Structure 1
Amino acid sequence: MFKYTSAAVALALVCGIASVGGAPHHATRDQGQIPDVTVLQFALTLEHLESAFYNGALEKFDANAFASAGFPPWVRERYEQIAGHEASHVAFLTKAIGENATKPCTYNFPYTDPKSFAALSLSIEGVGTAAYTGAAHLLSNPDDINAAGSILATEARQTSWIHSAVNKGTPWSGPYQTPLTPSGAYSLASPFITSCPENNPSLPVKSFPGLTISPSMPKAGSTIEVAVDKSDTAGMFMAYYSGLSVLSSEIQNGETVIPEGLQGVVFAGVVSEKPTEGKRPTDETMRSGLVAIDFGLPADAKVESPM
């Protein structure tokens, strides 16, 4: 197991990363075709969060703090570059959207030192990459598709660098990036948001109750306890989003057995219908927000099964 990646997911779980229900940003979902501008507003919401995350940490932790935490100088320098990327993404999307551009919110990130910041940065970047991948098909304008693809490529590179160079793990979980719906991705990001401007546009997302699993860092093939805020899980299934595949396990008496073979970072949530090949969970079948589970792989691990 590599050094910091499990800490990233553990931090996310501790701060309630699975829950959307308590988020201050009141999100709604249009059941019809989602306009490109709405998708871009959702992307800008995440970019504001990422930009605030990096800028806040770099303001709080100087070069000496990173050195004291055991990082070589180039680690903070690369994070400075990433902060610049996110600021550029914010400026680009703000200009593209115009007067209806989403404004930044107030955030709360639970990093306390450079190590916890570096660990949490993997979760932040992973959510952004999964969100761009999952929302690509919602865009119709070729220019918007190209712009989103360009940002996605950079976000993916940033994720890989953090995963491997900083956290000493493999730079990817498998041959395919996991796509998440806007609602799924937002369920992972929203607990970092404490308040937003009242005139911010509504987002194409649905709110879900929070999910907790115990233990929070399980192994593939192990049994976990599953609990959803104010909801019975009887007759439900646990869905595991891994690359382009969605595996599942039945929940019985509040417990379920994780499928064998999962590796890397996997997103999981409770659904009302068993996922089948070609039929991924939807906002209508999701019954909880998502949690991120790291079935950790060290840097020299062999990734065997394509997901």
Structure 2
Amino acid sequence: MANASVPVQYTSAVSPPPVVSSQLTEASHGSFTGRATTTGALSLSVQAQSIPALPPSPAETNGYPSDGQLHEPEPAPFTPAGGEGTNGSEPVYRVQSDFDFESIALGLYQEYIELDVFHNGLAMFSAADFQAAGLTAEDRFLIEFMADQEVGHATLLTNILGPQAAPKQCTYNYPFQTVREFVDFNQKLTRVGESGVYGFLNHLDSRPVGQLLLQSISTEARQQMIFRQFDGLFPMPVWFEVGIPQSWAWTLIAPYISSCPQNQTRLAWQNYPALHVINQPNAARTNANQTGSNETQGFSIEAPLNDAIVPSSSLCVNATGVGSNCNPAITHNRSIPLSYPGRLVQLQWDAPGQLVGPNNSYVTSTSAGAPSWVAWVNQLNVTYSKLTLTGNNTGTTIQPNVSTFENNPMINGTVFIALVDTPLALSPFNLSQINPHVAALTLYQAG
């Protein structure tokens, strides 16, 4: 009988692959106070200001008849013709283009921040703090186990990139002050990590690398669901998970990375100006419709809900009725939704040119014209609502009423919104074409 414990080998190198040790996860924390020696994204010569939109390939629209019959000889028994990487060639698990490298390096930055923040929350708060938030020793162990998963994910991506060029763990700065804020921050952070990979996964030149990444991001999706359950939210309120461009993911995590080791691998992705939802729905309230202004901890784009400013009588953790209590649970079906079509959403956004990210060495920028629309990106849809300007870099919009399919509201869960200058018709596979038109970006807690 074969030895089932023998691990699959992903490289043919004679030396053992590098391993990211869990002993290297005690990163320091706090804001960066120095001055960057290098600023801006990694760049080379740029061929055009945007990638032109082209019609679909005739071979893809008029080629395969899709009639349920076989149309080519089978290369082997029970093996229909076609498919990528099915010709028997040994897979090579390494990046094959600049696009691959920059995408996987971004993924590694994401894995490291998750690895750190899970450990940081466990170290920052006592067992009594967790208990007061409704989380037991077993729940804390689950968070620790999720941190261990990130060790594996970081090891995998380091192996793929190679130990010399792979980004290393950094110093981080988080906005949360309580256990519930820690949990809410993580359900937002893991949404960015999951959606950030879904956005580029099927665009990778290396299909073997994509396969490994798929098997790690599937775990990430479960982490996001766990933190939603800890947060007292419905665990999976959508039919489809959304994918976002790499520059969106980098914009959303970079503000929490204070500094990185010298000669750290830089990224080529854009950092957009931050968009702030002034009346971000507060999931700590029994009735989120009563949310006031700035009920988040801090003013960051992934700022967690702030339950300390909510009166005790209005906290959903103190509610007792079914549909109103939001203590940690397998599921809660909240009677009063966090958000709804027709809601007035108040927005404020930063000007470009802000220094963000590791060592304040990246600069927010936009090539968009004056913003006039709000793009709502979730599930399979990109839909738009009109932006009404109310002042200098402030405005309002109305949450649109749209569904993916019947009985599935598109805007639900933790979604992405962006200010844009034009409402392009886009779909999940070509969403990155929106990038030149994005003026600012954030998360919106719709459910």
Shift of 1:69: 3.0
Contact conserved, 1:39 with 1:138, CA < 8 A, in 2? no
**Cα distance, 1:182–1:25 mapped onto 2, change above 3 Å:** farther
Contact conserved, 1:47 with 1:89, CA < 8 A, in 2? yes
**Cα distance, 1:49–1:29 mapped onto 2, change above 3 Å:** farther
Length-normalised TM-score, structure 2: 0.56
Q: Which residue of 2 aligns with 1:46?
A: 110
Gaps of 5+ in 2: 1-35, 48-96, 282-338, 353-367, 390-394, 402-408
Shift of 1:234: 4.9
SS of alignment partner, residue 274 of structure 1:
coil
Q: Which residue of 1 aligns with 2:434?
A: 282
**Cα distance, 1:117–1:214 mapped onto 2, change above 3 Å:** closer
List 4+ stretches of structure 1 deviating above 4 A: 29-33, 231-235
Shift of 1:67: 1.9
Q: Which amino acid aligns with 2:112?
A: H
Shift of 1:27: 2.6
Sequence identity (%) = 24
Q: Is 1:160–2:301 an aligned residue pair?
A: no
Query: Which region of structure 1 is more displaced relative to structure 2, 29-38 or 194-203?
Result: 29-38
CA distance in structure 2 between the partners assigned to 1:277 and 1:40 by the alignment: 24
Q: Which residue of 1 aligns with 2:153?
A: 89
Q: Is 1:142–2:207 an aligned residue pair?
A: yes
Q: Which residue of 1 aligns with 2:341?
A: 220
Q: Which residue of 1 aligns with 2:174?
A: 109
Q: Which amino acid aligns with 2:142?
A: R
Q: Is 1:229–2:350 an aligned residue pair?
A: yes
Q: Which residue of 2 aligns with 1:294?
A: 445
**Which structure exhibits the higher relative contact order, with contacts defined as CA atoms closer than 8 Å and separated by 6 or more residues?**
1
SS of alignment partner, residue 287 of structure 1:
strand
Aligned length, in residue pairs: 272
CA distance in structure 1 between the partners assigned to 2:435 and 2:104 by the alignment: 19
Q: Which residue of 1 aligns with 2:186?
A: 121
- 1:136-285 paired onto structure 2 within 5 Å: 136-164=201-229, 166-217=230-281, 219-230=340-351, 234=370, 236-253=372-389, 254-260=395-401, 261=409, 262-278=411-427, 280=431, 281-285=433-437
SS of alignment partner, residue 283 of structure 1:
helix
Length-normalised TM-score, structure 1: 0.80
Contact conserved, 2:275 with 2:442, CA < 8 A, in 1? yes
**Cα distance, 1:204–1:282 mapped onto 2, change above 3 Å:** farther
Gaps of 5+ in 1: 1-21, 297-307
CA distance in structure 2 between the partners assigned to 1:78 and 1:51 by the alignment: 13
Q: Which has the higher helix share?
A: 1
CA distance in structure 1 between the partners assigned to 2:148 and 2:222 by the alignment: 14
SS of alignment partner, residue 85 of structure 1:
helix
**Cα distance, 1:274–1:35 mapped onto 2, change above 3 Å:** closer
Shift of 1:210: 1.7
Shift of 1:88: 1.4
Per-residue CA deviation, residues 131-183 of structure 1 (Å, 9 max, x unaligned), is 1111202312122011110111000011112213x123222231111101011
CA distance in structure 1 between the partners assigned to 2:203 and 2:270 by the alignment: 16
**C-alpha root-mean-square deviation of aligned residues, in Å?**
2.5
CA distance in structure 1 between the partners assigned to 2:43 and 2:435 by the alignment: 10
CA distance in structure 2 between the partners assigned to 1:34 and 1:173 by the alignment: 35
Query: Which region of structure 1 is more displaced relative to structure 2, 191-200 or 142-151?
Result: 191-200
Contact conserved, 1:240 with 1:269, CA < 8 A, in 2? yes
Contact conserved, 1:26 with 1:202, CA < 8 A, in 2? no
SS of alignment partner, residue 216 of structure 1:
coil
**Cα distance, 1:173–1:71 mapped onto 2, change above 3 Å:** same
Q: Which residue of 2 aligns with 1:11?
A: none
Contact conserved, 1:239 with 1:275, CA < 8 A, in 2? no
Shift of 1:66: 1.6
